[in-house]
Amino acid sequence: MTTRITHWIDGRPMEGTSGRTAPVHDPATGRQTGEVDLASRQEVDVAVASAAEAARAWGAASLSQRTAVLFAFREALHQRADELAAIITAEHGKVLGDAAGEIARGLENVEFATGIPELLKGGYSQQASTGVDVYSIRQPLGVVAGITPFNFPVMVPLWMCANAIATGNAFILKPSEKDPSAALFLAQLWKDAGLPDGVFTVLHGDKEAVDAILEHPGIAAVSFVGSTPVARYVYEQGTSQGKRVQALGGAKNHALVLPDADIDMAADAVVSAAYGAAGERCMALSVAVAVGDVADALVDAVAVRLPKLKVAAGCEADTDMGPLITREHRDRVAGYIGAGAQAGATVVVDGREADVPSEGYFLGTTLLDHVTPEMTVYTDEIFGPVLSVVRVETFEDGLELINANPYANGTAIFTRDGGAARRFQNEVQVGMVGVNVPIPVPVAYYSFGGWKDSLFGDTHMYGPEGVSFFTRGKVVTSRWPDPATSSVDLGFPRTR
């Protein structure tokens, strides 16, 4: 039996009227478990009208009313994290520990947003001119939308909606149609937390819904996370319609491993960052750049770790890596392994030959050595459990390679040399940098975002830049007559 996955409009589930739906699968079995409604332009209109009505009252609600809801939402999310993790695993496939991890990271964004009274404080300049004071305030935009990818069905929506709602906007979420159920669970939690109906909306859909959002005059801003071609499209279309847009794209994250690195530490980090969540993370490491004679030791250290990883359904205890999101994606990733081998890479561990469950969209871990920059395994974002090792002679060669890559989301260096690490963090052309850490994801009170083809727009996601993205600044210049010179009887002496 499959579940009907509806929209959430006006504070309640609402069945779609477009007549279009998409199947939802459990990637661990390959079986269809749900049928999600896909919104038409008319349904987008209905959702925006509801959100606009709600935004008027919510934008005027006091800061203490808004923070009360955020604190309650934080508690609800915390208490029901296990149920939500199970929903993520059932549709995404990642292991339960990873699902719990993404909820924990998302929670940090909610906790950050509970501090909104402090974050929205403006500046005040008394006596900017004689008798004139100047001060700044930040106001909500109205109705804003978030369009999110399949790989973090809870964390990425929370990157956006916590700040958007805290700053007084109504938020419309268009989640990935591949794992849509977690969005509805979030909607119920917001309602339970006391959020007024219409402030959080879930509109499922595909390109038709995205285009309607990008063109809708009632939506002021769009926050997007997904692949680079779609991020570029969303940015160009949205800004051409006069909207504020931040669009985070794909990644090809490199780890630079220097000859003096602690090999065990580097290998542990590389294995967890390359193969965790089956490589379907925007901060996954997909290239290890081995400098000088460290390469053989690094390849050996990674290779001995891979057979120890248990590849199975994400809901089974002790599983290290679950399936990929769809059959097509699994086959595409497997195709890259063949292409790499044909182009001359050495297949040290071949995920296609791994002993993995026969049902579902499983693929084992792959390690490719002697990869060179013109191979497709290097140029393309694979988004699967494949790690490529590129061998270079020097630190400079490695830095040059990373800086020449069009993607620039995250990178990491492994070394015991503080001077080399410092030079790397200064000179690398990448938005998020790790030093001896596997995945340099910033915490919620910094902002998240790459450079170059990994981000279109001027603001990074969440943190202080998220607050700024979802608000407009206003500066007030005021002069009040001095009561001592007023002609109106104010009921107190006119002398000072």
Closest CA to 456 of 240, 241, 228: 228
Residue 380 makes contact with ligand NAD by CB under 6 A: no
Residue 411 makes contact with ligand NAD by CB under 6 A: no
Tokens of 104: 């924990």
Taking the C-alpha atoms of residue 286 and residue 292, their distance in angstroms, rounded to an integer, is 19
For ligand NAD, what does the binding mask look like between residues 421 and 460, x meaning CB under 6 A? -----------------------------x---x------
Tokens of 1: 């039996």
Taking a C-beta distance cutoff of 8 angstroms, is the pair 330, 363 a contact?
Answer: yes
315 carries an active-site annotation: no
Residue 210 makes contact with ligand NAD by CB under 6 A: yes
Residue 73 makes contact with ligand NAD by CB under 6 A: no
Residue 230 makes contact with ligand NAD by CB under 6 A: yes
Residue 225 makes contact with ligand NAD by CB under 6 A: yes
Site stretch for ligand NAD (CB under 6 A), options 114-122, 147-155, 420-428, 466-474: 147-155
Query: Strand 21-26 vs strand 31-37: parallel, antiparallel, or unpaired?
Result: antiparallel
Taking the C-alpha atoms of residue 168 and residue 470, their distance in angstroms, rounded to an integer, is 9
Distances (CA, A) of 114 to 80, 89, 193, 196, 266: 19, 28, 13, 17, 37
Q: Least distance in Å: CB of 156 to ligand NAD?
A: 6
If 0-12 CB within 10 Å is exposed, 13-18 middle and 19+ buried, where does residue 61 land? Answer: middle
Q: What does 63-128 look like in DSSP terms, one character per residue?
A: HHHHHHHHHHHHHHHHHTHHHHHHHHHHHH---HHHHHHHHHHHHHHHHHHTTHHHHT---EEEEE
Exposed e or buried b for every residue in 286-308, given b needs 16+ CB within 10 A?
bbbbbbbebbebbbebbbebbee
Nearer to ligand NAD among residue 206 and residue 316 (C-beta): 206
Residue 219 makes contact with ligand NAD by CB under 6 A: no
Q: Least distance in Å: CB of 311 to ligand NAD?
A: 21
Sole binder of ligand NAD in the list 227, 239, 272, 436 (CB under 6 A): 227
Site stretch for ligand NAD (CB under 6 A), options 14-22, 69-77, 172-180, 215-223: 172-180
Site stretch for ligand NAD (CB under 6 A), options 130-138, 149-157, 391-399, 480-488: 149-157
Taking a C-beta distance cutoff of 8 angstroms, is the pair 170, 51 a contact?
Answer: yes
Residue 202 makes contact with ligand NAD by CB under 6 A: no
Q: Least distance in Å: CB of 276 to ligand NAD?
A: 14
Closest CA to 442 of 467, 416, 465, 414: 465
Site stretch for ligand NAD (CB under 6 A), options 3-11, 78-86, 126-134, 249-257: 249-257
Taking a C-beta distance cutoff of 8 angstroms, is the pair 104, 443 a contact?
Answer: no
Residue 383 makes contact with ligand NAD by CB under 6 A: yes
Identify the DSSP state of 448: B
* Other CB atoms within 10 A of residue 393 CB: 9
Residue 69 makes contact with ligand NAD by CB under 6 A: no
Sole binder of ligand NAD in the list 76, 282, 298, 412 (CB under 6 A): 282
Taking a C-beta distance cutoff of 8 angstroms, is the pair 467, 165 a contact?
Answer: no
Sole binder of ligand NAD in the list 177, 320, 453, 465 (CB under 6 A): 177
Taking a C-beta distance cutoff of 8 angstroms, is the pair 159, 282 a contact?
Answer: no
Taking a C-beta distance cutoff of 8 angstroms, is the pair 14, 6 a contact?
Answer: yes
Residue 409 makes contact with ligand NAD by CB under 6 A: yes
Q: Shortest Cβ contact with ligand NAD: which residue? A: 226
* Other CB atoms within 10 A of residue 202 CB: 27
Element (H, E) at 494: none
Nearer to ligand NAD among residue 420 and residue 439 (C-beta): 439
Taking the C-alpha atoms of residue 123 and residue 137, their distance in angstroms, rounded to an integer, is 8
Residue 246 makes contact with ligand NAD by CB under 6 A: no
Taking a C-beta distance cutoff of 8 angstroms, is the pair 307, 276 a contact?
Answer: no
Q: Least distance in Å: CB of 266 to ligand NAD?
A: 23
> Which residue is catalytic, options 116, 186, 282, 302?
282
Nearer to ligand NAD among residue 221 and residue 261 (C-beta): 221
Closest CA to 472 of 136, 113, 123: 136
Sole binder of ligand NAD in the list 16, 149, 314, 323 (CB under 6 A): 149
Q: Least distance in Å: CB of 147 to ligand NAD?
A: 5
Q: Least distance in Å: CB of 453 to ligand NAD?
A: 10
Residue 250 makes contact with ligand NAD by CB under 6 A: yes
Site stretch for ligand NAD (CB under 6 A), options 180-188, 219-227, 253-261, 484-492: 219-227
Site stretch for ligand NAD (CB under 6 A), options 57-65, 138-146, 148-156, 189-197: 148-156
Nearer to ligand NAD among residue 111 and residue 211 (C-beta): 211
Nearer to ligand NAD among residue 37 and residue 369 (C-beta): 37
Residues recognised as catalytic: 282
**Binding residues vs ligand NAD (CB under 6 A):** 147-152, 156, 174, 176-177, 206-207, 210, 225-227, 230, 233, 248-251, 282, 381, 383, 409, 450, 454
